[in-house]
Amino acid sequence: MDRLDNTIRPYAWGSPTAIPHLLGVEPTGEPQAEMWMGAHPGAPSRTPRGTLAEVIDAHPERELGQAAVARFGPRLPFLLKLLAAGAPLSLQVHPNLAQAKEGYEDEERRGIPADAPHRNYKDANHKPELICALTEFDGLCGFRDPVRAADLLAGLEVDSLKPYVDLLHAHPEDAALREVLTAVLGADREEMARTVAEATAACTRLGGAYAPYADIAHHYPGDPGVIAAMLLNHVRLQPGEALFLGAGIPHAYLNGLGVEIMANSDNVLRCGLTPKHVDVPELLRVVRFEPSDPGVLRPEASPDGEEVYETPTDEFRLSRYVLPEGGPRRDLTRPAPQILLCTAGAVRAGEHELRPGQSVFVPAGEGIDVSGAGTLFRATVVV
């Protein structure tokens, strides 16, 4: 078992204070968006034996277990993060496994460099993900019912939005949503910027259900993604609640601190709220144009105190333990790799004392028990 030394990514949308506050260190004044825990080649965790990627590459079956290697290959199939949004992330969607393989092979065939700004597929894997709130956490997730989206847009009383309102009343629903998103992203940029400016003023004036979109527009003035965002459900998670984002579901995180886990992939197709490349045809191929409820997840408790966030994916399994003062030691031994992350209090994991923000990697089958008074997240795989 190894204590992990993890990289913090300074993306512009990151909160300058949330991760430092959790870690109990002074802020640097710079944004601190994500702390990565895992073996992703972009920023693998460091251990006394080398990077976690090097440790796993040297002995994949010993570190991951035979079952995980047989199912997912000789690599850690998930990436765990602390995510601290101080501003909205880009409106985005992830491909399913077949789409990712097809898109990656196509871009490889066409010789598009891996670091090209217009490249969509960095790998051939899908990217289901789960975000669990540590603080109140705002996000957008999945399409609203088209009639509800039409009512929201109509309430702004912006003339240039009326064609979209009419389209959203059309049937079938999936065609209506597709047509509106296509029209918004394909509109003349100058005309759309004027529409967004009018919509922003109205959102600011009206407040209430419009307040999140006024804030988005403040960060991304004139961006077509502001209007696209109004087609999506706004959700506010309370601490301990979570969202699962499957393939094809448009989403964006807006504000808050959470624990995020995902399949080990970089594949993102952006819909807006970004200066980065937006590939509209490929986006439209991947998006699932169907209204849905955000589906807020609450953990299901087992008799041993483990609270599991159930999802339909096997590349990761996230759970937590809220350990009471003086409680019993709990055996967390598992025939699969694990990362344990403390987010509150003090937790003893084997020989390691973990404080908030500290984590360890536990190889498959290695005996591990935990105790203390605090909150511990457990990331592993389904085998």
Q: Which residues contact 271 (CB under 8 A, 6 or more apart)?
A: 90, 91, 92, 93, 181, 185, 225, 228, 250, 278, 283, 287
Closest CA to 158 of 194, 184, 182: 194
State how far the alpha carbon of 352 is from the alpha carbons of 287, 336, 368, in Å: 44, 20, 10
E strands of 144-276, at which residues?
232-237, 242-245, 251-263, 269-272
Answer yes or no: are the C-beta atoms of 312 and 246 closer than 8 Å.
Answer: yes
**Annotation marks residue 205 as catalytic:** no
E strands of 103-250, at which residues?
129-133, 137-143, 232-237, 242-245
* DSSP H or E stretch at residue 380: strand 369-380
Bridge partner list, 301: 307
Distance, in Å, from the CA atom of 181 to the CA atom of 201, rounded to the nearest integer, reads 22
Answer yes or no: are the C-beta atoms of 131 and 253 closer than 8 Å.
Answer: yes
Look up residue 270 and give its amino acid.
Answer: R
Distance, in Å, from the CA atom of 310 to the CA atom of 303, rounded to the nearest integer, reads 16
Bridge partner list, 297: 242
Look up residue 126 and give its amino acid.
Answer: H
- Can you tell me whether residue 208 is helix, strand or coil? helix
Both ends of the chain: CA-CA distance in Å?
A: 20
Copy the structure tokens of residue 374.
């605090």
Which is catalytic among the residues 3, 46, 75, 270? Answer: 270
DSSP state letter for 231: T
Residue positions annotated with a catalytic role: 270
